[in-house]
């Protein structure tokens, strides 16, 4: 039986996967088109600027997906070796620090959009507020990911199983 608290993280994870996959495909196509035009000695003026924006979007939205999959760097051995009180202390510190940072980033990112209003990219008539919206949106998505994983992390702090890492095989391979 799947609980509502288990369904939403999976749905959000799937949405994040679709968004980041689409951004990755768009970026790859855009770079390949730029290479073809450059090889044909007809370089596109907007290619580099758009690729930079797409990479930033991919980075911000991909980091939210990584948070939802527990794929960011951590120290599980240290945290898992602590007693219940220590795990709760580490969890509280981690969540306050991470969520606090991304709330500040979302707030300041939104504030900056007002400063950038009216500006456009140099090579394409796209508002800078659209391109820089990845900062507050990505930060808000990261906070959402953290909040969706919080029940699982609280269960771990109480003595339950640690949250699964995204790909334990990768960590095993890197340890050799």
151 in a structural domain: yes
Average pLDDT taken over every residue of the chain? 87
67 in a structural domain: yes
108 in a structural domain: yes
**What are the start-end ranges of the H helices in the chain?**
4-39, 47-68, 76-81, 84-116, 128-132, 134-157, 168-174
The pTM score is 0.83
Range of the domain at 68: 4-166
55 in a structural domain: yes
The angle that helices 47-68 and 4-39 make with each other, rounded to 10 degrees, is 160
172 in a structural domain: no
Count of other CB atoms within 10 angstroms of residue 57: 21
CA distances from 174 to 20, 67, 171 (A): 25, 20, 5
Q: How many domains does the chain have?
A: 1
Tens-place pLDDT, residues 152-171: 889 988 887 766 664 455 45
175 in a structural domain: no
Tens-place pLDDT, residues 128-150: 999 999 999 999 999 999 999 99
109 in a structural domain: yes
Q: What gap in Å lies between CA 15 and CA 108, rounded to an integer? A: 25
33 in a structural domain: yes
């Amino acid at each position: 039986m799947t609980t509502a608290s288990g369904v939403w993280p999976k749905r959000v994870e799937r949405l994040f996967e679709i968004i980041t996959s689409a951004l990755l495909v768009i970026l790859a196509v855009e770079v390949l088109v730029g290479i073809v035009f450059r090889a044909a000695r007809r370089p596109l003026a907007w290619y580099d600027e758009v690729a930079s924006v797409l990479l930033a979007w991919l980075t911000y939205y991909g980091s939210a997906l990584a948070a939802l999959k527990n794929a960011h760097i951590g120290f599980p051995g240290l945290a898992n070796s602590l007693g219940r009180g220590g795990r709760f202390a580490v969890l509280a510190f981690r969540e306050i620090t991470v969520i606090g940072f991304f709330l500040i980033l979302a707030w300041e990112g939104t504030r900056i959009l007002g400063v950038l209003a009216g500006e456009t990219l140099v090579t394409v008539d796209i508002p800078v507020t659209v391109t820089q919206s990845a900062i507050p949106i990505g930060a808000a998505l990261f906070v959402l990911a953290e909040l969706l994983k919080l029940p699982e992390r609280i269960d771990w702090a109480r003595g339950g199983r640690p949250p699964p890492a995204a790909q334990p095989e990768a960590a095993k391979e890197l340890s050799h």
